[in-house]
Amino acid sequence: MADEDAKEEVGLSLDDGEEEGTLKLTSKDGKDFEVERKNANIATLVKTSLDADASATEVPIPGVKSDVLELVIEYMNQHKGVEPPIIEKPLRSKIMKDVCKDPWDADFIDRIGNNRQQLYDLILAANYMDVKSLLHLGCAKVASLIKGQPLEKIKDILSEGIAPKAGEAGEEEKKE
């Protein structure tokens, strides 16, 4: 009994061995990515899948394309399975380095933010995979882009990089 109490005090459990090794995540377009199991647990979708089947070596991620899943895995590997603190709201600044506690997070999201469609896809992936800190980071980046901007500029920012749906292109031409 004393041994069990000592293990609990140190934060060890019988499940710790299950977090060792790698896991294969398969994207929507069939590309496989290797990731450390403990790093992948930052995503609730992956953690839930592993809780259901602890011996699983592969987790399909059918809602995320490979280019975006690669970014999510880069984020997972950087944080080593530890969810960083959520960004404080409202934002204190439009500059992500001032908002993020981790400078790597600021550089990461600024790099992605240059491509709006990729940023929006990353936010959708973080939501789908339930990576709360990445979802908040992506949304904070969008908020930093629109903070203090006039309405017309906000419309441009939010629609930038998004292809018009079928039938909408003709409507744009009629307005002009």
What are the pLDDT digits (tens) for 81-134?
898 988 888 888 899 999 899 999 999 999 998 899 999 999 999 999 999 999
Residue 54: the pLDDT is: 86
Cα separation, 150 vs 9, in Å, equals 54
Question: Helices 44-52 and 116-129, interaxial angle, to 10°?
Answer: 30
Contact 120, 165 (CB under 8 A): no
Query: Cis link prior to 90 (omega < 30° from 0)?
Result: yes
Contact 157, 146 (CB under 8 A): yes
Instruction: Specify the pairing of strand 22-26 against strand 58-60.
Output: parallel
Cα separation, 25 vs 70, in Å, equals 10
For 5-21, the pLDDT digits (tens) are 444 444 433 344 445 78
Q: What is the total residue count of the chain?
A: 176
DSSP single-letter state for residue 15 = G
